[in-house]
Amino acid sequence: MFIDTHCHFDFPPFTDFLADSINKIRQANIVGLIIPAVSANYFETVLQLTNNHHEIYAALGLHPIYQHTMADLELLTNIVKTKPKKLVAIGEIGLDCYDLSIDWQQQLLFFRSQLTIAKQFDLPVLIHSRKAHDIMYRELHKANLPCCGVIHGFSGSYQQAIQFVKLGYYIGVGGVISYERANKTRNTIAQLPLDSLVLETDAPDMPLSGRQGQVNRPEYITEVFKILTQLRTESPDHILNTILTNTLTLFSRINRIKI
């Protein structure tokens, strides 16, 4: 059984062919799939998908590379207050230092505000951190969230990763490890404690090696897992069981719902 902790299943490659997309994740033994919203425009779609499909769970958040308003932040707060049954996290939220055209002060404002929401409602966070790991560490350390969350799409150093792990955060393992040239990331994932890892695809983004230019899909999580077993020394069964336990521990609302 697999749980994809980060898949943009609310995007057209999947919603335009929804029945087929659902069938494919079931064939891949994906028993849970978390959709992180990227803007307020997607909140309703994400929640509707969770209501219609038992495998799907929601994370609601305002992504740093999108434009947002204070009204969007207020809407997020008001929805979280209603405690939707299948809302399991705040995300995708974070900081992005790669695109210098994005207003930095606005990023910080929305990120810190959403950390406050997560803390208030005891929800984990799905973190986007691009070229921002050191700043991110300081922000998360200061926020001191009780539920922590996932550093999504991690591609930093072992030293950076272990800092997040010591804070209580999990490291999202996705298609990056399929690229042999990504030695730093592959070595980091090989060395980190197994109980700090969760699986993700970031579909339709982050294609695996050999699939460049193609739509990434959640069912490719089986390929990510296979590569992970090649990087680790533990048995595949132990890796799978540990990662499933990690995921259910972090996203406790999935654990309380029969899957």
Instruction: Tell whether 68 is in a known binding site.
Output: no
pLDDT digits (tens, 9 = 90+) for 212-246: 999 999 999 999 999 999 999 999 999 999 999 99
Q: Is 202 annotated as a binding residue?
A: yes
Please indicate if the annotation marks 92 as binding a ligand. yes
CA angle 171, 175, 180 (to 5 degrees): 105
C-alpha–C-alpha distance, residues 106 and 103, integer Å: 5
| Mean pLDDT calculated for residue range 64-72 | 96
Range of the domain at 67: 2-255
Long-range contacts of 49-56 (CB under 8 A, 24+ apart): 49/9, 49/10, 49/15, 50/84, 50/86, 50/87, 51/86, 53/22, 54/259, 55/22, 55/25, 55/26, 55/30, 55/31, 55/259, 56/9, 56/86
What total of structural domains would you count in the chain?
1
In this predicted model, what pLDDT tens digit does every residue of 158-178 receive, in sequence order?
A: 999 999 999 999 999 999 999
Q: Once rounded to an integer, what is the mean pLDDT over residues 82-111?
A: 94
| CATH code at position 54 | 3.20.20.140
Task: Say which amino acid occupies 72.
Answer: D
Average pLDDT of the residues in 34-59 = 97
- The annotation status of 133 as a binding-site residue, yes or no, is no
